[in-house]
Every structure is written in structure tokens, then in C-alpha cells.
Amino acid sequence: AEYGMILVETQGKVGIIRLNRPQALNALCDQLMSEVGEALRAFDKDPGIAAIILTGSEKAFAAGADIKEMKDRTFPDVIFDDFIGDRWETVLEIRKPVIAAVAGFALGGGCELAMMCDMILAADNAKFGQPEINLGIIPGAGGSQRLTRAIGKSKAMEMILTARMMDAAEAERANLVCRVVPLAELIPEAVKIGEKIASLSGPSIAIAKDAVNTAYETTLTEGVKAERRMFLGLFATADQKEGMAAFAEKRKPAFTNR
């Protein structure tokens, strides 16, 4: 496909989507979000791809939704063209793991997009924030909910009510990100995570992602029940037989995604 605002490449079985609108610090306009959605869906369908990295530039993952595009929209405009529901949440439909590799600013919708991914790997220069309050609005793509679940009420309140940004070290302490790495290592390290995932059984990876996500959607008892069904279901795969046989035989498993 031809894209104007993203760059798409693959490294082995890892698909990389790079937001590429440098003149606006990757502000997430309609076209950019449509392209991200299209590229995510294409990788999700591609049997040659096992994991997806979503990244931006060294200066900005994304500085938020495009304020200049939003500023004149009226309530009737946005109620009938639900730009968040239509274009922003595609990442939630992707079955393969999506790793947000964040360098520089991840603000507003940029922070929300990163939080919709399965994990956030941060460069040491990453800055996270929900500065919508400065514009007279609040987060609109899940930020007030996902940030609160990730870092807890007190820190989320401070960030959302005062627009204070969090640097990478604080984001790691607060469990917003899985790890912080030097900027130069961001993509290589994200690719390493993707390659490890690609070496494993695809069905178990998809089910594992589903199981962790279930923790956010339900009670502990229901979540544990769901996990049990998913766990037992994987005994129907050839890869479970292969993985356990390989362990018993002291050899490396050769998974077939069956």
C-alpha cells in the first residue's frame, strides 16, 4: 500500500510502523490514524508477521491528536463522525502483539495510543503526558481510564489535572512502561522482543495476549476461569505437544503455529 504519513518495513517476522509526520511532531490527524489502522490490519493478516512495532521519531512518538484539525469541529460534527471510534481503536482489534516503542513526546492521544498497545518500551528521552486540560478538554481516547489503571489514581489525577509530564525513569517506576533503554537501542530492543515472540507458538501468543487483556475487563474469579479455558484449549494444539516433547527430549522446539 502507498502511505503518506507512515513508513512501513519488516525485519524478519517483525512488522514496523513508523509515524512519519515530523513537521507536526506526529500529531495524529485523521489521515495518519487511518493509515496506522490500515497498516496494523495488513500486518495482522500477514502470515509472515508475528509481532508489530509502532514507533515515531526520536523527538516524538506523537504529540497528540491534531489540535489544528480538531479545533473547529462542532458537537454535531463529532457525534456523527466519531473520529475516535472509527479510526483510533483499530489497535485494540489486532491479535498479534503490538509493541509501542516510544521516544520523545507521547502526549495526549499519543500517550493514549501507546497505552492501547500491548506494552510500551521507552527510550530514555521519552516523555509521557495527558495535557488536554491545557486545551479545555480531557483525554478522549481512553487516557483517563488506562492511565489510572496503569499508574494508579494519585499520579493519574496529578497528570490529567495539571498536565504534568512524566519522564522515562518515572514512567518505569510507575509501571507505565515495561522497560527503559537508551535511545539508540530502542528499535533494536523492540525488534528483539518481536523476534522472541516470533520464535514461539503463534496460537499460544495470541491466547496469552487475550488472557492478559481479560485481566482488565473482568473480575478475578471470571478472569481466572477464562484463563483456565484458554490454558486447557491450548492442549488441542500440535505446538503444545511439540513444546513439551522438546523439553522432555532436551532439544529446541520447532513450532508450526498449528
Chain residues that interact with ligand HXC, rule: CB under 6 A: 24-25, 27, 63-68, 84, 88, 105, 107-109, 131-132, 134-135, 140-141
Closer residue to ligand HXC (CB): 86 or 222: 86
- Residues 6 or more apart whose Cβ sits within 8 Å of residue 23: none
The SS3 of residue 121 is: strand
Helix spans in 117-219 (H): 143-151, 153-162, 168-173, 186-198, 202-217
DSSP-derived secondary structure for 8-75: EEEETTEEEEEE--GGGTT-B-HHHHHHHHHHHHHHHH-TT--EEEEE--SSEEE--B-HHHHTT--H
As measured in angstroms, the least distance from the Cβ of 234 to ligand HXC is 36
Q: Is 132 a catalytic residue?
A: yes
As measured in angstroms, the least distance from the Cβ of 202 to ligand HXC is 32
The whole-angstrom separation of Cα 176 and Cα 191 is: 20
The residue with cell 495524529 is 28
Closer residue to ligand HXC (CB): 20 or 240: 20
Closer residue to ligand HXC (CB): 160 or 187: 160
Contact 142, 117 (CB under 8 A): no
The SS3 of residue 137 is: coil
The whole-angstrom separation of Cα 240 and Cα 234 is: 7
As measured in angstroms, the least distance from the Cβ of 112 to ligand HXC is 6
Contact 51, 15 (CB under 8 A): yes
Length of the chain: 258
Catalytic residue among 35, 132, 172, 189: 132
Catalytic residue among 24, 65, 123, 171: 65
Q: Is 142 a catalytic residue?
A: no
As measured in angstroms, the least distance from the Cβ of 4 to ligand HXC is 17
Closer residue to ligand HXC (CB): 140 or 253: 140
Catalytic residue among 109, 110, 143, 194: 109
Residue 63 cell numbers, joined: 504529540
Closer residue to ligand HXC (CB): 83 or 255: 83
Closer residue to ligand HXC (CB): 14 or 141: 141
Q: Is 242 a catalytic residue?
A: no
**CA torsion angle 111 66 101 243 (round to 10):** 80
As measured in angstroms, the least distance from the Cβ of 111 to ligand HXC is 8
As measured in angstroms, the least distance from the Cβ of 25 to ligand HXC is 4
Q: Is 194 a catalytic residue?
A: no
Catalytic residue among 35, 112, 172, 189: 112
Active-site residue set: 65, 109, 112, 132
